[in-house]
Structure 1
Amino acid sequence: MTDAPTPDDRPFNPHTFPAKLLAAQLELAETYAALHALQERLPWSREPHPGWPEENPERGRQRSGRAASPGWDPADAEQFDKLMARLRELAAFVQGHGHWAECRAHGADMVKARQALKHAPGAVPAPAEDPAALARQDVNTAA
């Protein structure tokens, strides 16, 4: 009779990620995409700004001007702030997860392990049909 290895008998694999770490990485990627989609449609300045005129080229460099910005709508500013706060929370959770200490203790290549997480099944968002839909997602979900 052969003994099947128990989880404790198997060698450590730095690319076997805990479910909560995978879920947090997935939400982190989705939150970043939502933030990016929101930023794409916002004016360049959060506050109203008169902009500045285009200047003459200086030693071969082109300095372009900026058109006036009406500023952000208060609802957009609130959504941006919520997305940024959630992005920071998720990044701190992923970066501070205990899995990384275990990887370090087993001598794993930390760069490869962290990069593998970003591409692991369950940590990669499905392609969005409507990128603007990401910007409208509810940012009040928990990790």
Structure 2
Amino acid sequence: MTMISKTTIGIAAGICGTIFLGYCFYFDRCRRNDPNFKKKLRERRRNLKANLKNTSSKLPNMNDHEAVQRFFIQEVQLGEELLGQGDVEGGVEHLANAVSVCGQPQQLLQVLQQTLPPQVFYLLMQQLPAVMNKGLSGATVTVSEDDVE
């Protein structure tokens, strides 16, 4: 059995690391020098922004329980994601959409009141009447600030 010294292992690791970094730099340079790279990147970003804007305008069929449930989950996830990124207004808009299609909005609002910061919850409560008036939910659901503790 031959013993490999620590120096040999260190040199081999350094060479492998250098080769890997060279590989990364080479392909990054090829990608950036591609004449269509910036065009593709802008198009991808445009599509992403358009998809985020369109998700709030596509309302589910209120008679299709599965579609309403998917919409509800999607809106809650988007709201949480946007709030996490610091986009409070966008997050509140998506959460308001979720509350508007929720079967038990008072319970959801109680959970949101416990989990959201007070100023964000206040914005949500201010936006709810406008969302409800847009027709996102049935006329049977009404929410006031007195309903939530």
TM-score range, shorter chain: under 0.3
| Relative contact order, higher structure (CA 8 A, sep 6+) | 1
Task: Tell me which structure has the larger Cα radius of gyration.
Answer: 2
Higher helix share: 2
